[in-house]
Structure 1
Amino acid sequence: MRRAAFLLLTTALASSAAALTDQATAEAQARALLARLSVDEKIGQVTMAHFFRFTEGGRSAPIAANAAQTFGALKPGSLLNGGGDTPQPNTPRGWADFLAGLDTLGRANLPQGIPAVFGTDAVHGVNNVPAATLFPHNIGLGAAFNPALTREVEQATARDLRALNTAWTFAPVADVGRDPRWGRYYETFGEAPWLVADQVAAAVTGLQGEGVAATLKHFTGYGLPSLGLDRGNAEISARALHETFLPSFQAGIRAGALSVMANSGSVNGVPVHASKSLLTDVLRGELGFNGLLVSDWNDIDRLVGTFRSQPDLVRAAAASVNAGIDVYMVPNTVEAYQAALKEAVTSGLVSTARLDEAALRLLTFKARLGLLDGPLTGSGVLEDHRTLAKKAAAATLTLLDNPRGTLPLKTGRVLVTGPAMDSPAIQLGGWSVNWQGVGKGNVREVPRVTTLAPALKATAPAGVTVSALPEGKRPQLLAAAKGADVVVVALGEPPAAEWEANNPSLTLPAEQLTLLRDLVGTGKPVVAVLMAGRPIVLPADVQVELAGLVMAYLPGTEGGAALADALYGRTGFPGRLPFSWPETAVQAGLTADRPPEGAGQAPQPLYPLGYGLDYTTSAAREVTATPGPGGVTLSAALTNSGSRSGTVTFVVRAVLPASGALQAVARPVAVLQADLKAGETRRVTVTVPNERLQSWIGDAFGTVRPELLPGTYTLIAGDGRADFTLP
């Protein structure tokens, strides 16, 4: 009886968390509420306040005694917790109780009892809470080429968010990463539009299937900032906009994403937060988005102070709201913005109809999440996702070089060293407890993480002995290295986010390169493990001497355990690069879909998109392509030709007919993948949608249109290829 009751209860909870109210019902609820709101109350609805406005001293502290009055004065429709701004105690229970308390106060003191919706950045798990499991960052998930895995990760994240009383996350990043120098490159799923599109759709499905609103960010062009600098201007042609930057957002919208966040930067010299062309004509007109459009942090103010495109906040508010922004994410200037928007409405710069439209969208958003139906009841108990985190990390790991067969480590004395060998901060990267990473800002808690050195020690097979020494003790370290059979050096980028994570030279800190040179100089085999959010350019004379090079990306809570299994050969290296790895920093921005130009001498990356080695070998043969009404069905016989099981992955590339404009030599469009036993062959089929084979036709400064051109097409997978003709 008890077990039956428990099953009924858990089933009910699961179904209630997963059920989003349908659009028509939600909008009817919203319209009824909108009719009862004054202009001031509507302005409150479209304003987001930081939750520190409701805490003692405006910091991580208990709810303030005057929080009820603050709700009444600001009338905010939504509340934000920024990256690392936490309640006290910063525990799952502390979060759930804190947000439930704010929810109760809001319902009692906000107009018509309409609760505020809480939004947060949960970009690789519930990353503000030290007790939470953190998954690999998106760039690693892109390397897995497995949307089903991404969906599973986001489902787990959503369940944890709901337990903490949060129903809105500013994720997934739908930007296509086109410049690895950019500080947010690791938040993307990679460089290829089709890859990002598939991952984004999976992320949206996972989050919203568990009752948490997804936010596609940052619309659009954010992933191509000038000079690789965060929030830089992007110069994008109409053709590039449609071929490269819109498909991932289109995929997220088709998956049902409830919200979109605007790009903090500018496109073609126009700040996106004031671009009606992008935010209304393209996002809502072309892509058909009908949900909530939210600004990024303080970005309407930036139109005045940073971009200097508007003379004052009144005109900045009018420009943004008229461009399409529904909700302004403001951490500190709620009163100033509300006064500015009120003046804009009163003076006619913003119509009452536009204000009503924005407020209606937020009210509908809340209704879809079920927030109008009753108070928050999150359990305050997080699930243990460490098994899933290890599975996800293992799927990302990419072996770039193993020239001497040093890996797997089977016998002998192994020395492990390097700044990333036992560093939760480096292993987790940015947006981990604090937005700048572990140990940064006002949050000092260190999460429980399985790092590399302890994992190598704890799980060493018979015949392997492991010792670990920090890199700071250089004489002792080099003496130990000379006595070892293999040296594993764990290197990585210091954790950071946004502009602080820009890396113009694509290098590691100088002291890490010195360490690597010193270890290579011992003459012993050195295996380098990189924990980084982008391709790293190592000195060529050093890299050529390495006995092994592993790209671990930013692998999350269980990254060390997954790496130990792979280095010892208990598992393999299924990950494949989701980007092109440049040979030098001069090649930053080199992508697999770059067309031939100039003298026809196309630059070649050090490692191409989709590259990766494993402990086994594979082949794609007997490739066939069959056109159909919605796309082309590609089939290939994938073979694991090695002596052990592994994941076989081949990126599919398409050669398109001449279109009048530059075409990629071969455009990446899909992936073929299978887990195969040694010697096994399996036929795998994938459908490449027609829109991935379209060309955007038009002159340099004219309009462009998509067209599936007549002519001969070629699909390439590994060494196999198939031609087909469209009439």
Structure 2
Amino acid sequence: MTTPKRKVGVRAVQALSAALFLATTTGAQGVPSLPQAEAQTRAQAVLEKMTLDEKIGQVSMAHFFRFLEGRKSGPITANAGDIFAQLLPGATLNGGGDAPQPNTPRGWADALRGLEALGRQNLPGGVPAVFGTDSVHGVNNVPGATLYPHNLGLGAAFNPALTQELARATAADMRAMNMDWDFSPVADLGRDPRWGRFYETFGESPWLVADQITASVQGLQSGGVAATLKHFVGYGSPGLGRDRANAEISTRALHELYLPPFKAGIRAGAMSVMANSGSVNGVPVHASQNILTDLLRGELGFKGLVVSDWNDIDRLVNTFKTHADLVRATAASVNAGIDLYMVPNDVEKYGAALKEAVEGGLVSRERLDEAALRMLTFKAQLGLMDARPAGSGVIADGRALAKRAAAATLTLLENDETLPVKKGRVLVTGPAMDSAAIQLGGWSVNWQGVGKGNVSYVPKVSTLATALKASAPAGVTVSALPDGKREALLKAAKSADTIIVALGEAPAAESQANNPELALPTGQVQLLRDLLGTGKPVVLVLMAGRPILLPEDLQNRLPAFVMAYLPGSEGGAALADALYGRAGFPGRLPFTWPGSLGEVGLTADRPPEGAGDAPLPLYPLGFGLDYTAFRTGDGQAVKTANSVKVSVTVTNTGTATFIVRASLPPAGNLEAVGRPVGVVQVSLKPSEARKLTLVVPVERLEAFTGDAFGGVRGEVLPGQYTFEIGDESARLSLP
């Protein structure tokens, strides 16, 4: 493991896991009500009777609020059937912040059931519009729902089985409310933490993210909800860390870094893919046939539905300025491979542009038929062509699962024996100590987070201050003071034995969540400085969707530092258990934590530099401390038919996690010193020893070789491979 820049406190260790999630998958687990071939046959029968206008409507998506009174949160409008007959949309969606009345799970179930019935009455072939939404950490737009940790935290748990369980629970709640389609999971890599969607990723490493994507797709679709891989491809490496920016990606990097999570999701049976809102190598992805057809369908073999992101046809004209007008932009996107356009506020404008493009010969009728057929096939697979039972309108109480998930994410970065807190007077403060908005992050009730949209509901969450008070062990007393009253706070700090300060980012999403400085608000930094100035032991709990850079003088003085990510509804309860020592800190960083802005872009798979120096991060990928210790031994690697079996014996107490890294033989191209190829995790009783094994598919060992501007070829090269697991290594010659 790479050593952090600075010496950390009591370093508990990372170990291996018997709960392995193998990368080899057998495909989707039963979301389609019909096999694709049968669904396509039924879809073709409907398509053959459709008019040009009906086909154009079928490949467009209208916002949910178009069917509500006053086009805002409210009951379904009396003329909703007429609106369906006018727009003829193949799909509807809610992007967050608009809701039916009553805004309850039962209200959602009834409203969507009503829209389904109106669609059957007013749309071609009696096939209703499919409803899609961003349920990205639970059914996050619905008041009363349990919200789970965001993906970045789940990446820190390195537990695909847990991710699958959460996805299945989300799907069950969606189906209870008659929702069929989730715009999730994010298969982008988190390579630039300044980017506003960094917290929506599972981390930086391709194959580790691929395991999470497989789990998420299988969980959603086994629960009856279509998954969406997004955003194909390269969205997570935008220039300057700005959302929807251009990414410069070599062919080699494309295959080695960016495609593995999408490959995994397609193999798992993902029914839809959403296109990247930005551009790659100067070409907007929504107009790239090379990316959306040649690569996605040709090379990766995807056979499902390709959907645009929000209003991205307009961006070709008004933002990217790559196309002269909407008609040409529409034609370019449809011809590139977009099947369904997410133009929720301007369905009529898009429809008129597409009709002009078809009638003018810019888009062939065959291509329009292909897109409409994919849309109809998608709905047939989901059972929308048949009568089906209504959702119950009752969603599960997921608090126990949410607490277990949050507990698995918590990552201890510093500890000089300040933790666990066993006795004395504890003072808790900071803006994140009792804030549902900070704790939940973006995509929570509203698109930009709690308190930022049309829905004023504030979820009930277990906050840190409340949980610390409610669950304090004998001998510990807890007081909580807001940070706004600084004089009173510092006076109270003088009599405290331990200070716990909870800091964090305000909730936001997409471009509004960009953080170019990787910084906290200056007031929070000053609060931390003031508290450290008291000389009392300070525990920093950070709730954030990315690594944050603290001033060096503060970073070096932290007695204890906990990264909590965006832990969801039960984050406070999980944190209290860990801080009091009732539980440990099983989380490990799913990204590289830079020490400065100049190190943004430093990742675990970065090849050696020509100058010979190797910059060290503040904390490397996979880093994390705990209250436990371990020993490893007997590392082995054995070749099997299509994989390498790597094993190690671990003696430990508690739960520990190891990233397995592979060093490849020289291939003529730059290659990482150690490529992350899998994760193992284990929970052991005191002094228990266990032999753990990970099966590494050989495709994870492929080197992509080729000259600077030539084609690349992926192959497992002959030579010696070294596998590292903690302090153990094993060597093996292939083939």
Measured in 1, the distance between the counterparts of 2:724 and 2:64 equals: 52
Kept in 1: contact 2:31–2:382 (CA 8 A): no
Listed as ranges, the matches of 1:109-508 within 5 Å are: 109-374=122-387, 377-403=390-416, 405-508=417-520
Question: Within 1, Cα distance between the matches of 2:649 and 2:289?
Answer: 48
Instruction: Output one character per residue of 1:425-476: Cα deviation in whole Å (capped at 9) or x when no partner.
Output: 0000000000100010111100110000000000000000000000001011
Out of 684, 691, 694, the position equivalent to 2:699 is 691
> Residue 655 of structure 1 corresponds to which residue in structure 2?
663
Distance in 2 (alpha carbons) for counterparts of 1:373 and 1:242:
40
Q: CA deviation at 1:34?
A: 1.0
Q: Could you say which structure has the greater relative contact order, defined with CA pairs below 8 angstroms and 6 or more residues apart?
A: 2
TM-score when normalising by structure 2: 0.95
What is the CA distance between 1:20 and its match in structure 2?
3.2
Query: Which residue does the alignment assign to 1:6?
Result: none
SS at match of 2:720: strand
Runs (4+) of structure 1 exceeding 6 A deviation are: none
2:631 aligned with 1:623: no
Stretch moving more, 462-471 or 58-67: 58-67
| Structure-2 change in CA distance of 1:724 and 1:620 (3 Å) | same
Q: Which runs of 5+ in 2 are unaligned?
A: 1-28
Deviation for aligned residue 1:618: 2.0
Equivalent residues, number: 707
| Equivalent residues of 2:105, 2:395 under 8 A apart | yes
Find the aligned partners of 2:145 and 2:316 in 1 and give their Cα distance: 36
Q: Which residue of 2 aligns with 1:80?
A: 93
- C-alpha distance in structure 1 between counterparts of 2:50 and 2:577, whole Å: 59
User: What SS class does the counterpart of residue 93 from structure 2 fall into?
Assistant: strand
Alpha carbons 1:139, 1:186 under 8 Å: kept = yes
Quick one: which amino acid aligns to residue 135 of structure 1?
Y
Residue matched to 2:8:
none
Counterparts of 2:709 and 2:103, CA distance in 1? 53
- Which amino acid in 2 is paired with 1:706? G
Counterpart of 2:723 in structure 1 is 715
Deviates more, 1:390-399 or 1:543-552: 543-552
Q: CA deviation at 1:165?
A: 0.7
Letter in 1 for 2:688: E
Tell me which residue corresponds to 2:26. Answer: none
> What is the aligned counterpart of 2:41 among 17, 20, 28?
28
1:290 CA displacement = 0.2
Q: Is the 8 A contact 1:20 1:208 kept in 2?
A: no
Tell me the distance in 2 between the aligned counterparts of 1:122 and 1:510: 33
Residue in structure 2 matching 1:612, options 601, 624, 634? 624
Question: What is the TM-score of this pair, normalised by structure 1?
Answer: 0.96
Aligned partner of 2:22 in structure 1 is: none
Q: Deviations over 1:361-398 (max 9, x none)?
A: 11110011111111561111001111000000000000
Provide the residue aligned with 1:50 in structure 2: 63
8 A contact 2:207–2:261 mirrored in 1: yes
Counterpart for residue 675 of structure 1: 683
Alignment counterpart, residue 597 of structure 2, candidates 569, 577, 585: 585
Aligned-partner SS, 2:553: helix
1: CA distance between counterparts of 2:328 and 2:387? 38
User: Partners in 2 of 1:620 and 1:432 — Cα distance?
Assistant: 42
AA paired with 1:552? A
Q: In the alignment, residue 698 of structure 1 is paired with which amino acid?
A: G
Q: The residue matched to 1:629 in structure 2 has which SS?
A: coil
Which SS does the other structure have where 1:678 is aligned? strand
Within a 5 Å distance, the mapping from 1:66-77 to structure 2 comes to 66-77=79-90
Matched residues in 1 for 2:190 and 2:33: separation? 31
Deviation of 1:186 after TM superposition, in Å, equals 0.2
In structure 2, the residue corresponding to 1:29 is in which secondary structure?
Answer: helix
Equivalents in 2 of 1:20, 1:180: separation in Å?
40
Deviates more, 1:388-397 or 1:673-682: 673-682
Q: Deviations over 1:609-660 (max 9, x none)?
A: 00000001123321100112211100011221xxxx4112111111101111
1:646-675 CA-to-partner distances (Å, cap 9, x unmatched) read 112111111101111111111111112111
Deviates more, 1:680-689 or 1:522-531: 680-689
1:89 deviates by 2.0
CA RMSD, 1 decimal: 1.0
Name the amino acid aligned to 2:397: D
Q: Which amino acid aligns with 2:655?
A: T
8 Å Cα contact 1:84/1:434 also seen in 2:
yes
Q: Give the aligned partner of residue 524 of structure 2.
A: 512
**Could you tell me how far apart the structure 1 residues matched to 2:648 and 2:414 are?**
27
2:102 to 81, 89, 96: 89
C-alpha displacement of 1:598: 2.4
Could you tell me how far apart the structure 2 residues matched to 1:638 and 1:73 are? 65
Amino acid at match of 1:707: E
Does structure 1 retain, via aligned residues, the 8 Å contact 2:448–2:509?
Answer: yes
Contact 1:595 1:662 in 2 (8 A): yes
Q: Return the offset for 1:19.
A: 5.7
